[in-house]
Amino acid sequence: MNSLYSAVVVALCTMAAIPGAIASPVAPPQPDTNFSATCTNIGVNLSTLVLTATCQRSGGVGTTTSSIGLNSCISNTNGELTTGNGFSSSCQNIGFSGVNLSAQCKTPSGTFINTSIDLNVVFSNNNGLLTCP
Ligand SMILES: *[C@@H]1O[C@H](CO)[C@@H](O)[C@H](O)[C@H]1NC(C)=O
Ligand SMILES: *[C@@H]1O[C@H](CO)[C@@H](O)[C@H](O)[C@H]1NC(C)=O
Ligand SMILES: *[C@@H]1O[C@H](CO)[C@@H](O)[C@H](O)[C@H]1NC(C)=O
Ligand SMILES: *[C@@H]1O[C@H](CO)[C@@H](O)[C@H](O)[C@H]1NC(C)=O
């Protein structure tokens, strides 16, 4: 690499860096809202359909244990478990494994098909509290 080329590269990099430094002062670290990565003791009471977990609070300062109803966060959409609400009235044989909820859910034609959903796509850790959209 010759020195002229090096100088041009350094100049371009410096020019590229300045607007960014001015436009975005140090951003605060985003809390990690990933449910399964930041919560432990993840459990589902299959009688009440309540999810309970112990989740890290923002900034890693302690944990909070909270519960949330699956039925207010999960839907049956044409036989598939999705985000939404009210799945339990049209699904049966509900099970829980690891971080997946499984069930047999009714399709528009009236048959029941196996379906499952990764609870990580439904729930977030909001400063220690379980939330869903
Ligand atoms: C959330 O965490 C889980 C478990 O660590 C990981 O498998 C998954 O990829 C993460 N999801 C996102 C969107 O980061
Ligand atoms: C589920 O919740 C009910 C009602 O609170 C409780 O009686 C039962 O022991 C719970 N089951 C489990 C497995 O925790
Ligand atoms: C959860 O479901 C995914 C996708 O179907 C599967 O790959 C994974 O093994 C399941 N995990 C558990 C603990 O059942
Ligand atoms: C559906 O799930 C049930 C219970 O987990 C299982 O016994 C059955 O073999 C599954 N059926 C199909 C078609 O995968």
- Nearest residue CA, atom 12 of ligand 1? 34
Please tell me the pTM assigned to this model: 0.77
Domains in the chain: ranges and CATH: 33-131 (2.30.60.10)
- Nearest residue CA, atom 14 of ligand 3? 97
Ligand 3 atom nearest 99 alpha carbon:
13
Q: pLDDT per residue over 9-68, tens digit each?
A: 444 444 444 444 445 455 555 557 789 999 999 999 999 999 999 999 987 789 999 999
Alpha carbons within 13 A on the beta-carbon side of 32? 12
Residue 75 predicted with pLDDT over 90? yes
Ligand 2 contact, 48 CB (< 6 A): yes
Ligand 2 contact, 67 CB (< 6 A): no
Q: Which three-class secondary structure state does DSSP give residue 102?
A: strand
pLDDT band with cut points at 50, 70 and 90 for residue 94: very high
Residue 71 predicted with pLDDT over 50? yes
Residues 6 or more apart in contact with residue 120 via CB below 8 angstroms = 34, 35, 36, 99
